[in-house]
Structure 1
Amino acid sequence: MQESSEVAGSIVSEDCLDEVIQEQIKTLKNAQTAALSAVTKRRNEIFRLMDNCDNLHLVKSEVIILCKLRDKYDESFQQYEKHLTDSSERNTVNKRHSENTASIDRFITEMNNWVKESELQLTADLDRKSLCSSSTTRTKSSRTSVRSARLKEKARLAELMAQHAMREKTKVMEEQELRLKQEREEQEFRLRKKKEQLELETKIAMSQARERVYAEADNISDIVPKDTPSPLNPNVDPFQPQPSDITVDTPQLKANVPCSSSHCRFPEPNLDMQLQSQQEMFLKTQQHMTAAMLLPSIEVPKFKGDPIEFATFMMAFDARIAPNASGDADKLYYLDQQLEGEAKDLIGGCLYMSSSEGYTSARSLLSQEYGDPYKVSMAYIKKLISWSALKHEDPHGLYTFALFLIKCRHAMTNLSHMEVLNHLPNLQAVVKKLPTYLQNKWCSLAGHLREEKGGVDFADLVEFVYRKAKAANDPTFSKFALQNNYSKP
């Protein structure tokens, strides 16, 4: 039993030894692989550097590092090869190592050749640069003249380009002017044709009126009996009236009862006066239409979704487009054409409805969205509060601001929501838009108004700003008018 236990112990110790050896071989193999990977990585970096001769000094330093890595790879291989016991595996490893070593040597050879060629090329470049530097002095004056000539050519080219650009702009302006002239001539031609047509229609209407009057006169003459004596009975003695004391009331004949007596006649109508009255009426109509045609055409501005401009737009549309449209279909089409942006998108679905319902729905949608009194009031107030502060020397900006304040004051008469402008915080916000010198003047005026009538309102502020804006833009005695007069020679 003692011998068997010794044999078993020897077997266990041999197994442990084999595991240790295998682990060591594996470690050495990994070290060899890592060394080879380092060599390969360095080769790739050197290969990228060899694309440019300017990297010559870098390549030389990399050669030294690559040789050290190669030596480290040989050492790791020798350590690994010593521990191999299998002859076939050893042969395989030796063969692979020989191939890797040969590849590294070839690359080092190529690298050394590249270093030599690069040195020769750099030397040639230096020689060429030295020759060029020696001739620089001789060619300096010529280069200066060439540079001057180039600058002149560039200036000439810039001038030609500017002339070309101006010629193109002039051409565009001439085309626009020609197009406007043609449109104006076409408009005048259409107006002339309309005028001629109106005169012709007036003559036709006058002729028809005369014809109707004469026809009525003929009808009346047919009703009125001819002034001819009635046949008498020859067998009857002539009537001799006898005086009598009895008076008999003779009944009056009615106008609508026909009478066959020669003494009963209807008054003929005054045909000339009727004809003259109708002619005067047609002449007045013709003069009114002719005067309307001679007036400049009124363009209805397009509505872009500003609630402040909605009432003006609808008034213009109802005055200039709606009365002349033949039906709801035309009204809906023209209404869509006069809209832009969100307003146009708002009624887009109404175009797919019937003409009557679509036009009614489109106007209703626009009124709800842009004609609501609260929304209109908020648009006025928002624009007023967001107005930029006025500068000290800006009379035109002050006048524009004053006009908008007047517009707000007029809107307050129909928009009750804008009464909030009379509140103190809103008045203060408006005063802050004014220049400092006007703020001080308003402060003095506000104190006087409070003593006089117990407070101030938005109308007082509007009147103050408008008065100061007119004074700042006075064409005779304002600051800018006097300065312009002084500046004249």
Structure 2
Amino acid sequence: MQQSLSQLPQREVPVFSGDVLAYRSFIRAFESVIEKKTNSDQDKLFYLEQYTSGEPRDLVRSCEHMRPDKGLKEAKRLLQYHYGNELKIATAYLDKALKWPQIKAEDAKGLKTYALFLIGCKNTMTDVEFMEEMDNPSNMRTVISKLPYKVRERWRNTAFDLQARQGRRARFEDLVGFIDWYAQVVNDPLFGDIQDVNPDAKAKPVAKSAKKNIKGANFATGVTPIVKEDAKSVKEIQKTAKSTGTLERTCLYCEKAHALNSCEKIKEKEHPERIQFLKNK
């Protein structure tokens, strides 16, 4: 048995900085990894200081001038009072759950993170008093409000089904189970992500003003539609030509007696070449 234990990886004690939700894990790790390996209360007290920081370390240091056995006992009592109180633990869990930021639609990672936290809440309910507040319908509604609309809608059906089929209202445990299941669905490696490959890649329609200008310019019939900038240029050039009378008297391109939009020669040119000609004029 001793040989098997020696082959296991070395266990580590996390540094406790004052997070109420992390206190129980810390003190259990400390007792298992440190306290069981030494009989010296003095060593235990110094190790307790080593594995704490901030206010928890100040509490431990305040006991170091006492006799080692009393100092260790008092240090652990102070830590338990400030961070291990069940009401404080329950309140910390409840506050964190109710103040969780809104989860956006299709945020699979965010939903999974919330689900894991709520699982921790549910598991703590079996061992900590006052956690029954999580079962309060008002608090449950707040938890539900953090979910994307599609998930809330699905939960509404699930809660109604529990009432209709089993004759009971949904409990916090049911809600956690549902959120965990849904988080697994959207995080499925094969079919979890059903978003469009490129939702913004949509064909942009030609502006109405461009279409109107294209229709008005007969010489552009049958060629590639003019974009907004070109259409605007054509409109301005045509307006200038009309004001000078050149569009109606003499062809700007071949200088013969016909309108520019009736010129067969300019119609034979490529669209970019025609636009450039008009701009140069």
Instruction: Give the TM-score, by structure 2 length.
Output: 0.67
| C-alpha distance after superposition, 1:25-60 (max 9, x if no partner) | xxxxxxxxxxxxxxxxxxxxxxxxxxxxxxxxxxxx
Calculate percent identity across the aligned residue pairs: 36
Partner of 1:319: 32
Matches within 5 A, 1:416-427: 416-427=129-140
Closer, same or farther: CA 325–481 of 1 in aligned 2, 3 Å: farther
CA distance in 1, matches of 2:196, 2:84: 46
Partner of 2:92: 379
Partner of 1:454: 168
CA distance in 1, matches of 2:61, 2:195: 52
Matches within 5 A, 1:342-361: 342-361=55-74
| C-alpha distance after superposition, 1:263-322 (max 9, x if no partner) | xxxxxxxxxxxxxxxxxxxxxxxxx43433332211110111111111111111111110
The question of whether the paired residues in 2 share the 8 Å contact of 1:474 and 1:481 is answered with no
Mean Cα deviation higher: 311-320 or 474-483: 474-483
Deviation at 1:481, TM superposition (A): 10
Partner of 1:471: 185
Q: Which amino acid aligns with 1:450?
A: Q
CA distance in 1, matches of 2:59, 2:194: 47
Deviation at 1:480, TM superposition (A): 6.0
The question of whether the paired residues in 1 share the 8 Å contact of 2:48 and 2:60 is answered with no
Matches within 5 A, 1:112-261: none
Partner of 1:237: none
CA distance in 1, matches of 2:155, 2:169: 13
CA distance in 1, matches of 2:129, 2:62: 33
Partner of 1:390: 103
Matches within 5 A, 1:267-416: 288-416=1-129
Partner of 1:91: none
Partner of 2:144: 431
CA distance in 1, matches of 2:47, 2:195: 47
RMSD: 1.8
Deviation at 1:446, TM superposition (A): 1.2
Instruction: Give 5+ residue unaligned stretches, structure 1.
Output: 1-287, 484-489
Mean Cα deviation higher: 294-303 or 363-372: 294-303
Q: Normalized per residue, which structure has more helix?
A: 1
Deviation at 1:447, TM superposition (A): 1.3
Closer, same or farther: CA 354–426 of 1 in aligned 2, 3 Å: same
Closer, same or farther: CA 291–482 of 1 in aligned 2, 3 Å: farther
Mean Cα deviation higher: 301-310 or 474-483: 474-483
CA distance in 2, matches of 1:416, 1:357: 29
CA distance in 1, matches of 2:137, 2:4: 52
What is the total number of aligned residue pairs between the two structures?
Answer: 197
CA distance in 2, matches of 1:482, 1:351: 62
Deviation at 1:326, TM superposition (A): 3.4
The question of whether the paired residues in 1 share the 8 Å contact of 2:106 and 2:186 is answered with no
Matches within 5 A, 1:11-50: none
CA distance in 1, matches of 2:75, 2:43: 13
Matches within 5 A, 1:31-110: none
The question of whether the paired residues in 2 share the 8 Å contact of 1:476 and 1:482 is answered with no
Partner of 1:200: none
The question of whether the paired residues in 1 share the 8 Å contact of 2:20 and 2:88 is answered with yes
Q: Which amino acid aligns with 1:462?
A: V
Q: Report which of the two structures shows the higher radius of gyration computed on alpha carbons.
A: 1
| C-alpha distance after superposition, 1:405-426 (max 9, x if no partner) | 1110011112221111111110
Q: Which amino acid aligns with 1:404?
A: F
CA distance in 2, matches of 1:398, 1:354: 50
Q: Which amino acid aligns with 1:310?
A: Y
Closer, same or farther: CA 385–291 of 1 in aligned 2, 3 Å: same
CA distance in 1, matches of 2:147, 2:179: 9
The question of whether the paired residues in 1 share the 8 Å contact of 2:45 and 2:60 is answered with no
CA distance in 2, matches of 1:342, 1:467: 39
| C-alpha distance after superposition, 1:369-409 (max 9, x if no partner) | 11111011001111111111101121011111101111100
Instruction: Give 5+ residue unaligned stretches, structure 2.
Output: 198-281
The question of whether the paired residues in 1 share the 8 Å contact of 2:42 and 2:68 is answered with yes
